[in-house]
Structure 1
Amino acid sequence: MPISREYARSLFVDLTKSAAVPLDPDELLHMPGLRRHGHVFFGDVAVRCYKYKARWTYDERDIRAAGGTLAELDMDRDDVVDVQLPPYRDLPERDPEEWQRPNWRRQLVSWMFDGARYKLFREERPYEEGADWQAIGANGLPGGLSWEEFAASSSKYPHLRNIAGTRPLQLLTWSGENWRLPRAYADLLDRWERREEELVARARLCSSCGDRGPYWGEWRTATKEGYATRCPPCSRAAFQPYTGHLRGVPYEKHRRRGSRADDYLCRLCKESQASAWDHCHEHGFVRGPLCGSCNSSEGSRHPNYFLERDGGTLHLLECRACLEERTLPSRYSQYVVREHLMRTERHGRCRKPPYVREVEHADGVHRFHLECSGWHTASNWTRDVTAAEVVLLVQAFVDAALAAQEGRRA
């Protein structure tokens, strides 16, 4: 029986109250491995994710089975083993995919040095003070980091301080010479590494031709039934390219007519099956079919990511009103102005572009705070940009994008 993520979390919490391993039930809400392999891990126990009526769900039987297994897991906290942690960034010349593979020991090292870098930044010490922030202290932590500081920095982002749905920092101890973990827990994480590798290896295979795709799941495409793996050639063979036949059609009118986006190839990346009709939320016109990844990047990622990718600006201009008015959705306007200020504003004779962020918007005036990024004494100032100036800057940005398109055609 499919159950919601929220109910699955509540049920899982009840089932694992007596679990010896510290668990993070919020993993059932975040679903960190969804794109890579479609499962949520708690130790070596994998819970499969399902898509039901366009919502991600779980099977109640899977949640009960996982909760029961973890509740019965025996762990003696006094039976500990030394954890041999690798050196910091120990893979400079190996396969880049190696960095993406599950490795809980390397993850612990990464957290420790992240804490040391944060301490360095907070104390405003020059980065050139070099290797001292990487030196391991008597407590096993780098950069003079205390355990209290390490725990405090980790508590700020608890969902990022999990390994396989468990909280290792609650079990990690320092003997004076080595880091230690309960033997049963270390064995559990070793089994998780192997199990996750198996699921990722299976999910990398194209469902049509069997070719193996990139490790991070670039061939994985969100569909109405869940994620599917299909290589770009198979996608281009299976789905038709979008030719712009809905350009200028209002999205609501199109919804009533009911053309399916998943019949098309994503018009932006042109490598994956589309999953949704992207549209301009300010003017209401259809822009075109996008795959789940491209659609998410347009709606939720930072504007610069989308505008700087090939074809991103031109896709936004598929909205008839944006094209005719030579404008962009408002969330992109701030980015255009910010980039303009970074190009044109300087602190005295400093050549480095300043840091720019909008701090106020009132009475048609956008106020930006600028801070010099040079190595000399920092300087702060503000810059007001009127609504009329914003319009002109955005129009110039759009004109440049259209001119570049004409240049490519020529």
Structure 2
Amino acid sequence: MSERVMSGRTDGLITLFAANALWVDLTAGSAVPTAPGAFTCFPARARAGYVLLGGHVVATVRAGGGRWAVPEVEVRRAAAGLNAVGMDRQDLVRVGPFRGAPGQERNEDMPLRWRRRVMGELQESGGPERAVRREAGRLRHLAGIDWRQVLVERTRDGTQRTWWLPRAVVRLLDAAEHAETRWVRAARPRQAGAAVTVPLSRPRRIRDAGGRRTTSPESPTVSLRPYRKELEGQLYSVLSRKPGTSRRVAEWACAVCRTAPATVLDHCHEHGYVRAPVCQSCNTQERPDHLYSNDIRVANRYTRLFRTDTDDWLRHWHRCPGCRARTTLPLPHLAAWTACTACRSLRPTHRAPGGRKPCGVLRVSWTGSQNAPRSCLLTVAVDFCPSGEHRVLARIPYREAVERFRVWLAETAPDVAAAAGPDRLDGLPAQFRPVIADTSGEDLELF
């Protein structure tokens, strides 16, 4: 390790190649396998100003001769954190593929997006065996972790393949994404070189009464029709296939904010009914932030959905006849409500400037199916809490969560609650169309 400390420097910087060797050396006895080339092989981002090692971000700096370097103490700190992680190779979490399950949202603040990378690598290479034999320079690690060594493949009926990773590795990679997001957002103001003026609006293509295309001015003067329940009770699978539906949607104002033009038909993924035409911004706000098909992270935007703009969103969600008849929300939304509203008093807080601040990031997972309520259990946890990396706050049966929501709905939005219930709606199908994964079985089948 004679190369470890760079000549002419006394601040403990080491070259990337020396850091690679140090990382492997320090983590040789770790329960989680690590990979060589953590600082120099794809997808390491040394030139972006940082490198991920487990759940830690190690800053990179430009040293003498144009070479990139990292502080040795940070590498040792990241290695110590990884060595402290225990791993049970029998405690596995399925990482894919999930048929019909919602995919991870694209987030420019998370270049890692490890689930997408793992699935793309395995599906392109044909499986873990071929993935190991990929040519040099391709994906070799994720956050310094050699995930291939602990990847488990299971096959059903000799045809359907599923891939699994130990829970400890999944949590480390989740922590890496979280740390990367915070790093990029914190570094962005420092990297902004000049102010960029973005126009508030752009010319927009519309159709006049005769069907001819025209271009609207910078501030659109076209009047948008308010939504009057014209699509209530219709199935999205039927309506979305009808010619001209997109053009018809663009004529409405968003049914939630009522100011922006609608761009998409929002629909209930649990029952299949159309809710209303909404703008892209509102559609993104209410979309569950899925980690897996049965696991969501409760983003900060849910504070607005369940507190400041509660009445508008509850009214919108209950435009689905299935949710309105059952006086509930789709399972991911009910899980988010349970975490940030029903379990609010259970969330730990920590001292912060100006008062105490809720710590960590809320996450909710569930086992079983909402269509078999006795088997469905919601687990509310806090990730990245200083007093415990993954801390379980509560485990709540589905039926109890529904009853809590009904009581809260009657107090918060009495008009919405008064219009709900099975006696308020006739003609519902005998069976709803579920799309949520049932995780009570070994194979995580979709209904």
The alignment's TM-score, normalised by the length of structure 1, stands at 0.41
The alignment's TM-score, normalised by the length of structure 2, stands at 0.38
